[in-house]
Chain A
């Protein structure tokens, strides 16, 4: 929030994916530090275009002066959200946790509904874009299927996040198997949506209520000597930054200090010589699409370090482009064009690399890129498990 430090160099603008394709959005410099000089708490928001910002945080990563345009805009978005009644799409996505719980209990039905013409029409009416298939709800969620084992030295509380829980519990199970193969005790602490979707839809109150519950739950585990491991980069951003930052949740610092990205954690164990995984050959040529929120975690690209250890694997890093979907952002009708243009750009650059498949840490990036390119898209941990011979047995 240090808008006074801005030297107006426009480097943030050069990095803003939305600015590149949406002429109605004035870009991070104007929407952030410039406009901030004129915003006042006593006046109503006059800048509806703040909602066009997807919160990818690329502007923040690029700014040489430590100004945080995305943070400034995020606060303006919350203020706007408070002052304006929410649309159906905003409410739906803010509550995507409840929606997904419901969807996953009734998965076969929900999937059929989302695929039908009527279902699509209703989604369109609600302001939801329908150009890529809506994520499939998975019948057997992770919480319902995993029993934890116990009593080994390293203890991990796995914050798996909504995407794995509702859509890809198979990836969640592989992660648990992998950690257990390293003789780590894994538990699934009680947890709720991280709150980022609610925040992104201007519903700070809902986000804070999720966050408060997560902090309370994780706190018990940290006190009992567990490390928190997350795998969704947006959940990570909440655990590390937003719980302490905009949500101001007491006790959040302790969680941030004890939370690790999955791959960062594995690297740490390798570096500290606690484990010595035997990577077997994987013959693939991959394009590694770096999710915006992985970049924003400021931990480098640990999965890339790990994949470098796999013989036979070629993996080219692409981190200049946002996939355009940004969680629920691209699912909204008003952002559909932006999301499609950005996705198309990202896909054309991926295709230029000649890779046969895509890897990306973020589930929604994979959904977007696989949908637009027709290529397979993997979570890096799927590749790592392939190399370690770890399979998803139910």
Chain B
């Protein structure tokens, strides 16, 4: 028996689940989101990859394999979902730039470019080619960020080092939230007499106030400043997660942390409730419909056993790409591991194929044939399928 009756319960706090949850709350439904932990968004660059296979993301999607679930989302919904996303993030003080017309490039810490669609405003000025003149700031002791990688590819680049007193991305970002620290940093930067056109900083320019902080530095230094994403702990990834999460809550959604779903209650063709692991009474929550957004292997939605792959919440049938030998490519770093295609196959209403229940909808990286890494369709795909699954859920709500 549940303490509260919800209309819809979302399982998983990733970009897909939060998007679906916020959309349904916005329609006036009572929505709860339960999650085992934090999502892959926190590990990401914060950039929104829609489809990196083509300069034009929609063209790229059109050329994805026949069975790719992106084809289940109309281009109107994709457009709407990404527009909504940009509005949400602007309202959360972390605006995103770019649009569906064309992909753009973001400079990585390795000096290479990453293709993406929408970028946080802090990466708006990221150079689009290796001839741009940039000055890189690094921080004393900061691990895994070496300007040398970038300088070896950029002819017109130089760097200087600032001592922030701490040497972790988290610690430096926390310092930047302090006005006197920011002021001291700007004064130091002014003294460096930077000659290049743009200033690059690893992505540590604050957590809540990053957009305002970068604006202030640009204003004082009179030139564009941009962030370079770091390996985790990644501030832009966390800002993305925080923005979506706070928005969901402002729309009236409830979040249950530390709530790994381990079982379900069902009658006939309906799931009635989900249950979490608990040391006390069994925790359970009722709802009329459920949206599964537990991600792929890293997110925790899928688990590879010796020769099967299981979906951990509802034990839904999983599409498995052949025998175990076919799961992995010979080359470890290959983007073509067959296992990337594993996941839940759905019909056009985002309900799992061959599923004995009618009130489950699925979205995000757990969908079969997604291959987020290979196709460069990460958060953008999660946003689009999140909204599409939510729409279908509303339409079919029992």
Contacts and interface: CB of A to CB of B under 8 A. Distances in A.
Nearest to B36: A64
Interface in B241-280: 242, 249-250, 252, 254-260, 276, 278-280
Given A14-B232, A19-B168, A61-B37, A298 B276 contact: yes
Interface SS of A by simple majority? helix
B280 A259 contact: yes
Interface string B157-192: 000000001111011001001000000000000000
B98 interface: no
Interface string B215-255: 00000000000000000110000100010000001101011
B322 to A, nearest CB: 26
B283 A298 contact: yes
Contacts of A320: 242
A240 to B, nearest CB: 5
Interface stretch (A211-219, A266-274, A363-371): A266-274
Given A14-B232, A14-B238, A271-B5, A20 B259 contact: no
A126 to B, nearest CB: 30
Contacts of B130: none
A304 B257 contact: no
Nearest to B169: A14
Contacts of B278: 298
A268 B300 contact: no
B7 interface: no
Contact of A257 (B3, B233, B254, B281): B281
Contacts of A264: 3
Interface stretch (A5-13, A45-53, A190-198): A5-13
A289 B198 CA distance: 40
A267 B4 contact: yes
A180 interface: no
A267 B170 contact: no
Contact of B38 (A23, A64, A268): A64
A256 to B, nearest CB: 4
A11 B42 contact: yes
Contact of A20 (B3, B170, B252, B260): B170
Interface in A234-285: 240-241, 244-245, 253, 256-259, 264, 267-268, 271-272
Interface string A1-32: 00000010111011100011101000000000
Interface in A39-67: 60-66
Contact of A63 (B37, B166, B242): B37
Interface residues of A, number: 47
A266 to B, nearest CB: 10
A320 B174 CA distance: 13
Contacts of A66: 36-37, 260
A14 to B, nearest CB: 4
A62 B39 CA distance: 9
B259 A298 contact: yes
Contact of A9 (B4, B43, B165, B281): B43
Nearest to A342: B174
B208 to A, nearest CB: 7
A358 to B, nearest CB: 17
A354 interface: no
Interface in B268-326: 276, 278-281, 283, 298-300
A244 B280 CA distance: 10
Main secondary structure of the interface of B (DSSP, over half): loop
Contacts of A10: 43, 232-233
A257 to B, nearest CB: 5
B171 A299 contact: no
Nearest to B276: A298
A5 B42 CA distance: 19
A135 interface: no
Contact of A23 (B166, B208, B232, B298): B166
A232 B245 CA distance: 26
A13 B38 CA distance: 12
Contacts of A63: 37-38
B1 interface: yes
Given A21-B171, A21-B174, A272-B1, A298 B233 contact: no
A302 interface: yes
A33 B278 CA distance: 22
A102 interface: no
A304 B4 CA distance: 12
A143 interface: no
Contacts of A15: 38
B2 interface: yes
B32 interface: yes
Given A64-B36, A256-B279, A271 B4 contact: yes
A11 B258 CA distance: 14
Nearest to A58: B257
A240 B38 contact: no
Contacts of B283: 298-299
Contacts of B168: 19, 23
B37 A11 contact: yes
A236 to B, nearest CB: 9
Interface string A292-321: 000110111110110010000000110010
Nearest to B33: A300
A102 B42 CA distance: 48
A240 B283 CA distance: 12
Contacts of B249: 317
A349 B171 CA distance: 18
Contacts of B299: 64
B30 to A, nearest CB: 10
A87 B152 CA distance: 54
B12 to A, nearest CB: 10
A345 interface: yes
B280 A302 contact: no
A334 B393 CA distance: 53
13 contacts: A10-B43, A13-B170, A20-B171, A23-B171, A62-B38, A64-B37, A241-B279, A244-B279, A267-B3, A272-B1, A295-B258, A320-B242, A345-B177
Q: Which 3 A-B pairs have the closest CB atoms?
A: A64-B37, A256-B280, A298-B258
Given A271-B3, A299-B256, 4 more contacts: A10-B232, A264-B3, A295-B258, A345-B174
